[in-house]
């Protein structure tokens, strides 16, 4: 009993820390694992057994394969067809959500969303339709797609592994499809029909190619011979305006220098392009002695050219930018990049940009060298909100990754190899054939997820080995002794769904699976239905933006507030929960 209380207390503390999100989930999971090891509820020889678990290996292999398919342009080929759907909001909605759902069934849904979001932005802005009406349905579609196959989402892989540990065969690649397909179709139809009323319209129709009207705040200044600001550095000039003015470019002898370094000194007859509001600009002109040299085409002339570009990007959940500011990162000094604007929940932030602490879902507008900008977004874990060029400078080899992936699927479907072996072999073949180089191999793996899985799987085992899962199941059965197994099945599914909205869905599956198995054993029924309920419930976090990275990615570009998600997510969750329980009962008899 002491061990049950110990593992229960450790998991409760971990759950609270997951919800508070003060520390990254992989760090919390490792801390919980070490606490369990030090208290003896996880034996020493099993502490790190999770990292060799087939589920962890399969997730890593699938992430590599997803990157290869993404890099080869498989999703681009489908996305290119969407550009021909016309200006009808309903047709755009159907096309975007359908393609996103299909892609997410076989590849990492965040990778699919990274390509589909720019397509949606372009369609919405070119047609004048609100992009907010498209992005949230797409994010939810990516979650629905994950329910279709074993490799669609980590919870499915985890649940298949729990079934193997029960002494049976693990769930196969398409065992999730009958229930998942019914759930996906019901969800898509509901989104198509009810989305126009339940998805908020943020900002109306915008045909601008940017989320910001930057030109409104740009001014060209001329340095006369007797200006007070002569011989001052760029940093000193910005400090004259107390940091509320940014120097974006300097023109000297008809040569333009974007993002001039802080130590660059101002000379007579130089032209500065600055970004500031009207009040700050007036104070700066009085202090520096510079003169206005207005030009209506500043944005076109100075923000972008053949070499210089402006690019939007959204900060991911695991981005290295979170909690830091442009001043901390020294974007201009270190990378030659200007931060032009930051938007949060659809609103441009007005305070001093250099000191804004970035949060997940923030949208940044950066100016700099085109190649540098692409590298910056990749380096810091952000997703560009612009259509990427289709495999520029690379061979178009869509057929080869599809063929290798198809062979892995066939090997799994016909039991020629287990899923971990088949997909690991596929990932290895993609490396050997040059589809993925060694650096991309390691970069494509979401290591925080791998660490989370490796750390939580032994905790899930401890929940079962100490008898804590059985005690929770007995408590559930005692309070629901008058309920039929059908209702307890629904309770497990909705509990998994609720949990996945506040913690990572993989962790939700690990924690709920032992309880589901013990509940089924207490009822003397097959555990398959209860495991399937956990898999479906953990894969559908619609209520919050923090429930899944797909939800978070669209928060900034769509201008959504935290409360906007449950307006569509709550009725969708109820509908799909009822649909899933009904289908599970039909396809996986108790």
Note the pLDDT tens digit of each residue in 142-172: 999 999 999 999 999 999 999 998 877 899 9
Residues of the chain with pLDDT > 70, as a percent, come to 91
Q: Is the pTM of this model over 0.85?
A: no
Least confident span in 112-116, 434-438, 520-524: 112-116
pLDDT higher than threshold 50 for residue 297: no
> Given this model, what pLDDT does residue 411 score?
93
pLDDT higher than threshold 50 for residue 204: no
Mean pLDDT of the region 516-525:
92
Between 412 and 477, the higher pLDDT residue = 412
pLDDT higher than threshold 70 for residue 186: yes
pLDDT higher than threshold 80 for residue 225: yes
- Residue 43: pLDDT band with limits 50, 70, 90: very high
Diameter over CA atoms, the chain: 91
> Given this model, what pLDDT does residue 302 score?
52
- Are both 190 and 114 inside the same structural domain? yes
Dihedral angle, C-alpha 469, 475, 478, 480, nearest 10 °? -90
CA distances from 573 to 234, 379, 510, 540, 564 (A): 54, 35, 21, 7, 14
- Are both 43 and 183 inside the same structural domain? yes
- Are both 199 and 229 inside the same structural domain? no
- Are both 157 and 226 inside the same structural domain? no
Classify residue 404: in a domain, yes or no: no
d(CA 268, CA 225): 5
- Final residue in a domain of this structure, among 361, 384, 407: 384
- Are both 486 and 539 inside the same structural domain? yes
- Final residue in a domain of this structure, among 271, 303, 335: 303
Mind listing the pLDDT tens digit for each residue in 326-352? 777 777 777 778 787 888 876 777 656
Tokens 């953990």 found at: 538
∠ Cα 337 340 341 (to 5°) = 135
Tokens 């919800």 found at: 19
Mean pLDDT of the region 549-561:
88
Indicate the DSSP class of residue 205.
-
| Tally of domains within the chain | 3
- Residue 392: pLDDT band with limits 50, 70, 90: very low
- Are both 31 and 131 inside the same structural domain? yes
- Are both 110 and 259 inside the same structural domain? no
Mean pLDDT computed over every residue of the chain: 85
Q: Give, to the nearest 10 degrees, the angle between helix 132-146 and helix 177-198.
A: 170
d(CA 418, CA 58): 10
Indicate the DSSP class of residue 107.
S
Which residue, 340, 322, 318, is CA-closest to 331? Answer: 340
pLDDT higher than threshold 80 for residue 277: no
- Are both 332 and 270 inside the same structural domain? no
Least confident span in 155-164, 243-252, 288-297: 288-297
113-117, 131-135, 190-194: range with highest mean pLDDT: 190-194
- Are both 141 and 63 inside the same structural domain? yes
Residue 442: partners with Cβ closer than 8 Å, 6 or more residues away: none
Which residue, 226, 299, 290, 236, is CA-closest to 263? Answer: 236
CATH number, domain with residue 315 = 3.30.70.1450
- Are both 107 and 233 inside the same structural domain? no
Classify residue 105: in a domain, yes or no: yes
Classify residue 24: in a domain, yes or no: yes
pLDDT higher than threshold 70 for residue 308: no
pLDDT higher than threshold 90 for residue 499: yes
E strand or H helix that includes residue 522 = helix 505-523
- Final residue in a domain of this structure, among 263, 283, 303: 303
Q: Supply the range of the domain harboring residue 119.
A: 2-205+421-587
Indicate the DSSP class of residue 303.
I
Q: How many residues does the chain have?
A: 590
- Residue 296: pLDDT band with limits 50, 70, 90: very low
pLDDT higher than threshold 90 for residue 515: yes
Least confident span in 35-39, 107-111, 236-240, 558-562: 107-111
- Are both 448 and 344 inside the same structural domain? no
Dihedral angle, C-alpha 91, 92, 96, 97, nearest 10 °? -50
Least confident span in 165-169, 268-272, 514-518, 581-585: 165-169
What is the pairing mode between strands 271-275 and 338-344?
unpaired
Query: Which contacts of 3-9 are long-range, i.e. CB under 8 A and separated by 24 or more positions?
Result: 3/40, 3/41, 3/466, 3/467, 3/468, 4/466, 4/467, 4/468, 4/471, 6/36, 6/39, 6/41, 6/466, 7/36, 7/41, 7/459, 7/462, 7/463, 7/466, 7/468, 8/468
Which residue, 510, 520, 539, 536, is CA-closest to 53? Answer: 510
Q: Answer for the pair 257, 250: CB distance below 8 angstroms, yes or no.
A: yes
Least confident span in 209-218, 328-337, 424-433: 209-218
Classify residue 171: in a domain, yes or no: yes
> Given this model, what pLDDT does residue 529 score?
96
> Given this model, what pLDDT does residue 331 score?
77
Mean pLDDT of the region 381-404:
68
- Are both 432 and 579 inside the same structural domain? yes
> Given this model, what pLDDT does residue 280 score?
83
d(CA 480, CA 502): 25
Which residue, 182, 189, 190, is CA-closest to 583? Answer: 182
Classify residue 440: in a domain, yes or no: yes
> SS3 for 292?
strand
Least confident span in 230-234, 305-309, 387-391: 387-391
């Amino acid at each position: 009993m002491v061990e049950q209380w110990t593992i229960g207390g450790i998991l409760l503390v971990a759950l609270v820390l997951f919800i508070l999100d003060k520390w990254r989930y992989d760090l919390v999971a490792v801390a919980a694992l070490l606490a369990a090891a030090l208290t003896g509820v996880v034996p020493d020889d099993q502490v790190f057994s999770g990292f060799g678990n087939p589920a962890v290996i399969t997730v890593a292999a699938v992430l590599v394969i997803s990157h290869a398919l993404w890099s080869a342009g498989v999703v681009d080929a489908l996305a290119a067809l969407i550009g021909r759907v016309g200006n009808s909001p309903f047709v755009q909605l159907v096309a975007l959500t359908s393609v996103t759902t299909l892609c997410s069934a076989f590849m990492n849904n965040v990778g699919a969303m990274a390509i589909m979001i720019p397509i949606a932005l372009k369609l919405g802005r070119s047609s004048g339709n609100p992009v907010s009406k498209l992005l949230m349905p797409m994010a939810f579609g990516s979650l629905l797609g994950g329910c279709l196959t074993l490799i669609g989402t980590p919870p499915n892989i985890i649940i298949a592994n729990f079934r193997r540990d029960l002494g049976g065969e693990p769930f196969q690649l398409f065992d999730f499809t009958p229930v998942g397909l019914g759930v996906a179709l019901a969800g898509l139809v509901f989104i198509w029909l009810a989305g126009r009323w339940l998805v908020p319209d943020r900002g109306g129709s915008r045909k601008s190619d940017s989320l910001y009207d930057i030109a409104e705040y740009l001014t060209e200044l001329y340095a006369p011979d007797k200006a007070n600001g002569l011989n001052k550095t760029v940093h000193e000039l910005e400090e004259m305006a107390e940091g509320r003015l940014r120097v974006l470019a300097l023109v000297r002898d008809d040569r333009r220098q974007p993002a001039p370094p802080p130590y660059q000194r101002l000379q007579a007859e130089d032209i500065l392009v600055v970004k500031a509001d009207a009040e700050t600009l007036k104070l700066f002109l009085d202090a520096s002695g510079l003169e206005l040299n207005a030009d209506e085409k500043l944005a076109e002339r100075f923000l972008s050219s053949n070499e210089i570009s402006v690019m939007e990007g959204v900060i991911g959940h695991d981005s290295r930018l979170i909690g830091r500011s442009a001043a901390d990162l020294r974007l201009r000094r270190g990378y030659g990049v200007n931060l032009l604007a930051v938007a949060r929940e659809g609103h441009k932030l007005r305070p001093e940009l250099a000191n804004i602490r970035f949060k997940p879902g923030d949208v940044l507008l950066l100016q700099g060298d085109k190649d540098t900008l692409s590298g910056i977004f990749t380096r810091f874990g952000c997703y560009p909100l612009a259509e990427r060029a289709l495999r520029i400078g690379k061979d178009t080899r869509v057929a080869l990754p599809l063929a290798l992936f198809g062979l892995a699927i066939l090997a799994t479907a016909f039991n020629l190899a287990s899923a971990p072996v088949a997909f690991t072999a596929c990932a290895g073949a993609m490396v050997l054939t040059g589809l993925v180089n060694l650096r991309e191999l390691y970069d494509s793996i979401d290591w925080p997820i791998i660490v989370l899985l490796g750390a939580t799987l032994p905790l899930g085992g401890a929940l079962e080995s100490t008898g804590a899962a059985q005690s929770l199941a007995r408590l559930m059965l005692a309070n629901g002794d008058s309920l039929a197994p059908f209702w307890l099945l629904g309770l497990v599914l909705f509990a998994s769904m609720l949990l996945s909205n506040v913690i990572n869905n993989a962790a939700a599956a690990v924690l709920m699976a032992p309880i589901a198995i013990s509940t089924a054993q207490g009822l003397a029924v097959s555990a398959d239905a209860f495991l399937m309920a956990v898999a479906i419930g953990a894969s559908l976090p619609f209520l919050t933006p923090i429930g899944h990275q797909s939800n978070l990615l669209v928060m900034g570009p769509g201008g959504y507030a935290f409360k906007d998600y449950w307006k569509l997510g709550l009725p969708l969750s109820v509908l799909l929960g009822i649909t899933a329980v009904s289908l599970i009962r039909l396809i996986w008899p108790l």
